[in-house]
Structure 1
Amino acid sequence: MPDVVQTRQQVYKDKLAQQQAASASSATTAAAAKNGENTANGEENGAHTLSNHHSDMMEVDRAVEIPASKAMVLRGHESEVFICAWNPVSDLLASGSGDSTARIWNLSESSTGGSTQLVLRHCIREGGQDVPSNKDVTSLDWNSEGTLLATGSYDGFARIWTKDGNLASTLGQHKGPIFALKWNKKGNFILSAGVDKTTIIWDAHTGEAKQQFPFHSAPALDVDWQSNNTFASCSTDMCIHVCKLGQERPIKTFQGHTNEVNAIKWDPTGNLLASCSDDMTLKLWSMKQDTCVHDLQAHSKEIYTIKWSPTGPGTNNPNANLMLASASFDSTVRLWDAERGACIHTLTKHQEPVYSVAFSPDGRHLASGSFDKCVHIWNTQSGALVNSYRGTGGIFEVCWNSTGDKVGASASDGSVCVLDLRK
């Protein structure tokens, strides 16, 4: 049973230390493994395998490198930037950092000379005064209308801010760090997950806790809404619970992972739930059965996060196939056909753990961000590398804006990059 005090931040720091220690040797082994993997993997497409020739690789690299003129580096954070998220309606990019602030960057064309930043200082009351919490801001989510931003912090509070940077309400408190928080689609509830083993549904209008769900036996790491009042949660206890507002017990519990479950995501229709774990597997679950629908085993290290493509029934791209992307500490990204439970592409350009993946709004491209400081943009159909950018710090998060022409990336050195993908 892991000590609850060993929070996610410690995990980040431990893994960071391991990576730095291993990075000297890993570059050579990764290169060797990568070349072996491309030829060994039957699912690779021909074009991808050709890039084994070093000269081809160099040509590809030159062709796809994003020029500095197309990359805007936003500086202001004083510590690592764990997360970033685009406003769903406008070109506002929110970021959250270890410096106990979130920031909102205005990247719309009309904003004068580059970008303006709003600083959202996370404070606590002490002796009648507001003092900085000195705690990391590790989760962010915009409501679907793009009017409000929710932040989760290691100080145990969730906060709601207006898009002009004013604190609207403070929701508290979890007994310890918040690891994840999400608005429901309707925008009336916020869901949070904490180190205190609980998940809480908050009334966004009153700031009151509607219901607390104390079902996990260890820290809750991620949550995702299935509908406006039903959600799934996962934990270091290896369990996944599906809970509903007003119900005193989970309406479903999924067991099968043999190590902590890092992330969970419902597909666009809310039928399939994907989960990924330190046990190196990705599993797909349905409310109709107790055992997993697919148990996807291909990664050779922990899987840190997963994302569904915004394609298929019930999306803006109904004629495209539904895919799932997984990002792993084995430094690969995999694209999966969810229906068949088969790996379509293995994307093998990164040299270090991959912390984040994100699909473009049309599902045609995937961005990936790694501790090798690179952001790669891939074609999801062919698996080909389309664009690359090397930043100045390890990449924690990548995200696309609503129009699909900009990618935001947040990094371990305090920088936030915005890549302009318009030709």
Structure 2
Amino acid sequence: MNSPASMPGALDGLRVLDATQMLAGPLAATRLGDLGADVIKLESPAGGEFNRTHGFDDVRFGGEMTTFLAVNRNKRSLAIDLKNPESGAVIDALVATSDVFIQNFRHGTAERLGVGYDRLHAINPQLVYCSISGYGPHGPYRDRPGQDLIVQGYSGSMFSVGSEGDDPEPGALWAADVMTGYHAAIGILAALRARDVIGIGQHVEIDMFSVVLDAQLQELVTFLNARRQPVRTAEPGAHASIPAPYGVYRTSDSWLTLAMSPLSVLGEVLDDNWLRSLTHYNDGHVHRDQVYAHIRNKFVTKTTAEWLELCDRHKVWAGPVYDYADIEADPHVLATQMLVEQPGSNGTSVRTLRPPIALSETPASIRLGAPALGADSAEILAELGYTDEVLDRLLQSGAVEIHRPHLS
């Protein structure tokens, strides 16, 4: 049987130019690479992409920031200075042979660098061009930087978590960045499908603010039509818009999460007659504070595993609270092979997560690890037909850089 890495991906034959940095843009391009696209990462010869030097928690592995390794697999690196006039012809040649261009520059920067939508569309009308920004190209916020925490603050979501009286709290996940990256990939795929019908590419515009608001459709539709704001409770881990028993509870050895479950069934788990009497669907809303006060300390009498066994038996939605070491040892994670290896530099191997998309005929795969800066410059330029003489001129001008590995 062929391994997924040896089989053609769903996007095999498509070329993507990735001129992004940080998280949302690189993640979108990585997902396209996972699905088989040839992704060329365009990065400055002077240090490369932001995450090469400003990684998560400032941790390196094999000489590279772990953040860069995480969201730049399945890419080739072309070290090219977009500000150098000599680079323009190279970019134009790449655009003419590519299907997708992704950028997340500040508003107006792409145009100043000569890689704005109108210019690239004129070079290749079939190009799908994706712009990722904090707030979109219009409105008074268009020039503001888009960053996950700041966008979460704008979104209203910080008042949906935490306890009554607490300061506003952001979510622990980089939700704005990650969801924006996924929406960008969805928009690009839709535009590629549309190209098959209408014959030309188009401009896909994704902004973090719109994405995070869209992720709150339930809450915002409720507010916009019924004028109901989320109301926090005194219960840690509860959600402002979801009825009891939703929350996090301390057990004798760790913690337990409970989702939306009938209180009468939870009464069976806890052997509690008052909870058994709460049989109406909305009792978790009507008696919310009373329920939380009643059950807050009930779970400290058993371990998390013991409570999970009882909850599973009665079909109550529950789970443990893991740290990363727990995830690494989890039997479901191991059985479904969620943790895999990707190639690293200098013969190393980087542990990572497999692509979360499963396709039966054209599986996603990890074919390449995150590239060293400029590791593929010579190969990419050769594919464009550049001679050694022209390549030498580009190198001397500083427009491009070729990675030369350190000799041991």
Report the TM-score when normalising by structure 2. Answer: 0.30
Report the TM-score when normalising by structure 1. Answer: 0.30
Greater RCO structure (CA 8 Å; 6+ sep): 2
Larger Rg: 2
